[in-house]
Chain A
């Protein structure tokens, strides 16, 4: 997914002279082709995220479209004020490509686990937040990113995630994609959790379980949500993020604001730092977010 995103930055830079790439001390050889082809628009800056956001904002004020890549935790927690004031207040077209959204860096421990990125950015006016489900969708998102007016946060999965998106579904920032029509249950999921939502729905065959892929968490597709949830007895939100402030919060807020609140099961990470290391799958299992666990929880909730 990251490779697709970076390849697309190069591709977009070929098409549009306003596109820049900025990394903060990434791995050797990253975007080597772009650096050789257009060195003046390739920037590898130091380990200094606060500066990088400010510098990118300064360039965006004079018409450039900077695509910035580093690890999600550093790209959010470290430089939140710069994102808020330099990028969001000015509504500048910064693209924050955040490597390792959620639990991707499980073996590296809590410093590298981006489990609060959505919650940190969601209250910032003008910020858009997108978490594509797979590399194919990433490509479509990157195409759409070029003309998006304001700041855009792009949450990357681990890579090698199963392809569940379909080209015929298209892609527009802020437009949810119905993957499966709702029956008694609708799962609203984002990012790579959509593949787990689909697998859980398979296990709930007799119940009738829909899946709405909410790749854009902000601006939330309220209309699409209300339409998909219509008739469902239970709405389930599924995300690789803290239960506080992420997709689940956004969905419940939207249902409440519309006066259409209904029983909602918010599945996400508990309000504590993940314990231990292992793999992304391991930590998801500890949090009860793997497909069979999700299906069980839904069944139990319906039986209550």
Chain B
């Protein structure tokens, strides 16, 4: 794990410490995906978040918002200190992303299965308005249980939205336990292919590979793209990796924070 990935995770721990709660595992699997999107791919202007021609990023798995907040703060959409206030009564950052409340947040998510349909609408709007904007929708694996995702997937292909890019944070664990046991998604790439998407798969923690995969979009002209990112839930904290119990913590206290910081230092 390089210094930047470590730094972004330390921002997440700042937020967990400040709020005393948060989705830990579901945030940490997302860090490299969000990092590469914001560092290398998205055309956005932190000082002008409403710039009409910007690319849109919808974090459809809204419970991973600390990863989004870490990147938005790092890019200057709002002060880094705001992270420490998350979930407090007057905070700029809530336990799920809220459009209009936090600069840089494009959609209010947290109820799963909404983002891809919103993304289809935004991609259609960009086409009608002849804007170069692309729309990126980041979904969780558990989220793919929702039927509304597949309604939107069929429509994205019907409309040949090659300005729409979906990404799946496939960390193989949902709230109760293994995705394979709660509701198996396999064969996942074939499913998306059969729904009309151009599909690619990548190690979702390999920054170079993510960069290369997202360097030329769309994957196929005339088709929506999807990048299935194989990740590890809780990545970077050895005691949380692959542990369903670290999906969400409603109470995070000083000893937990110290343990997280220590684990992050030795993360590979």
Instruction: Kindly state whether residue B129 has any CB partner on chain A within 8 Å.
Output: yes
Instruction: Kindly state whether residue A55 has any CB partner on chain B within 8 Å.
Output: yes
Instruction: Kindly state whether residue A142 has any CB partner on chain B within 8 Å.
Output: no
Closest B residue to A51 by CB, please name it: B151
Instruction: Kindly state whether residue A54 has any CB partner on chain B within 8 Å.
Output: yes
Residues 3 to 20 of chain A near chain B (Cβ within 8 Å): none
Chain B residues within 8 Å of A61, by CB = 99, 106-107, 118, 121-122, 125
In whole Å, how far is A88's beta carbon from the nearest beta carbon of chain B? 10
Residues 35 to 58 of chain A near chain B (Cβ within 8 Å): 40-41, 45-46, 48, 50-58
Is the Cβ of A50 less than 8 Å from the Cβ of B122?
no
Pick from B120, B124, B129: contact of A51, CB under 8 Å: B120
Is the Cβ of A85 less than 8 Å from the Cβ of B111?
yes
A58 to B159, CA, bound (A): 15
In whole Å, how far is A179's beta carbon from the nearest beta carbon of chain B? 40
A45 to B119, CA, bound (A): 15
The SS class assigned to the A binding surface is: helix
Is the Cβ of A54 less than 8 Å from the Cβ of B111?
no
A63 to B50, CA, bound (A): 12
Pick from B111, B118, B155: contact of A46, CB under 8 Å: B155
Q: A89-B108, A90-B100 are in contact. Are A58 and B120 (CB under 8 A)?
A: yes
Chain A residues within 8 Å of B126, by CB = 62
Is the Cβ of A58 less than 8 Å from the Cβ of B128?
no
Chain B residues within 8 Å of A82, by CB = 114, 117, 148
Is the Cβ of B147 less than 8 Å from the Cβ of A50?
yes
**Which residues on B are within 8 Å of A, measured CB to CB?**
52, 99-100, 106-108, 111, 113-114, 116-126, 128-129, 147-148, 151-152, 154-155, 158
13 more contacts with CB within 8 A, not counting A50-B147, A58-B122, are A45-B155, A50-B151, A54-B117, A54-B121, A58-B117, A58-B121, A59-B122, A61-B107, A63-B129, A81-B111, A82-B117, A85-B108, A90-B108
